[in-house]
Copies of this chain bind each other. A is one copy, B any other.
Amino acid sequence: MRNPNQVLTAVIMAGGKGERFWPKSRMRCPKQFLSLTDDGETMLQKTVKRVSGLVAMEHIYIVTNAEYMQLVQEQLPEIPAGNLLAEPVPRNTAPCLALAAAVISKRCGNATMIVLPADHLIRHEGICSDVLCRAAAAAEETDSLVTIGITPTYPETGYGYIAFSRAKNLPHGVYQVDSFKEKPDIETARCYVNSGNYLWNSGMFVWKTDVFLTAVEQYLPEAFAIAMEIQSACDTPDFDAVLQKRFPDMPSISVDFGILEDAERLCTIPGSFGWDDVGSWPALKRVAKTDTNGNYRDGDIITVGTKDCVFSGREKLIAAVGLENIVVVDTADALLVCDMDAAQNIKKITEILREQGRGELL
């Protein structure tokens, strides 16, 4: 059980570009600001909802790119303006979380911090909430960096994996992280899943700000120094200027690679709540509601002899005949038709558009 006096905060990372969701996701309005499911809620709004039962609104922080600040304000009017942190440039997740931890630590002391990416989908939100709560308790009790691991259900090659094991000194249901594994090939993924010793790396974390900042100091001392400068200016009139000036000097590195892979006090709590990072269009077929033929449908869709497809449209009728494993995404100015197994090549289209100077389509 958690100590009710310990402040619980949440940091939602909403700075992604969502390029693999082109053409619906655009530079000006990436994936996390879109509703990819048919309920009208954007992924960012879903993420706030995810923690809103655990964390007071005044303790929910959003870190995003400066150019998305207006989108965040529009979609989340309930979050205090001071909790929206604008990165002047993208510097990956380690600097993003160092910034958030520095600000929270100044305002709330050694608070607990739940870290969530803004662009994941979770089918069983209630179970997720319970796991996050247990992770918070474990982070507080053990002064560890806690990662949420996902019990894998199939050999996904698009996720990183966490090798875990039991450790005597850890509370019940909390495991030691032995190592992080990069995205595996299919053979290796099968071994991981069959062994029972691996979890998916969800990118969701829980820790106390002091524990995290100590780790930043140890593994990314330069980033720590900058974070401390920004912290000093926090809630002073200089804040924006200092952030603007110093944040770009942060090293561009992920929290996994820059800190967690080396960290000593690192543990994991396995969860199983229909999590998906929705890395690209084909993922919607896995995580969102489909028809009896396994087709994901958003829009005015008529299918004949069609299965395991993803359709994302608008007002215009989409008629599909004899398709299997195809993604169709129709927007006002661009239409994508893609074989599921080639989804990683969607970025080649955006590269071509960039070369052709057709920025309005990016």
Chain A, 270-314, contact with B by CB distance < 8 Å: what is the 0/1 string? 000000000000000000000000000000001011000000010
Residue from B318, B320, B321, B335 in contact with A319 in the complex, judged by beta carbons closer than 8 Å: B335
In the assembled complex, which residues on chain B have CB atoms less than 8 Å from the CB atom of A23? 317, 319
In the assembled complex, which residues on chain B have CB atoms less than 8 Å from the CB atom of A304? 342, 345, 348-349, 352
Q: Which residue of B lies closest to A352 (CB)?
A: B302
Tell whether, in the assembled complex, residue A323 and residue B335 are in contact, meaning their CB atoms are under 8 Å apart. Answer: no
Residues of chain A from 306 to 345 with CB closer than 8 A to chain B in the complex: 313, 316-324, 326, 328, 330, 332-339, 341-343, 345
User: For the complex, what is the distance from the CA of A342 to the CA of B332, rounded to whole Å?
Assistant: 27
Tell whether, in the assembled complex, residue A305 and residue B352 are in contact, meaning their CB atoms are under 8 Å apart. Answer: no
Residue from B316, B323, B328, B341 in contact with A322 in the complex, judged by beta carbons closer than 8 Å: B341
In the assembled complex, which residues on chain B have CB atoms less than 8 Å from the CB atom of A349? 302, 304, 319, 321
Tell whether, in the assembled complex, residue B342 and residue A319 are in contact, meaning their CB atoms are under 8 Å apart. Answer: no
In the assembled complex, which residues on chain B have CB atoms less than 8 Å from the CB atom of A225? none
In the assembled complex, which residues on chain B have CB atoms less than 8 Å from the CB atom of A302? 349, 352-353
Q: How far is the CB of A359 from chain B (nearest CB, A)?
A: 13
User: What is the interface of chain A, defined by CB distance below 8 A to chain B?
Assistant: 23, 302, 304-305, 313, 316-324, 326, 328, 330, 332-339, 341-343, 345-346, 348-349, 352-353, 358, 361
> Sorted from nearest, which 3 A-B pairs have the closest CB atoms?
A322-B342, A322-B339, A321-B338
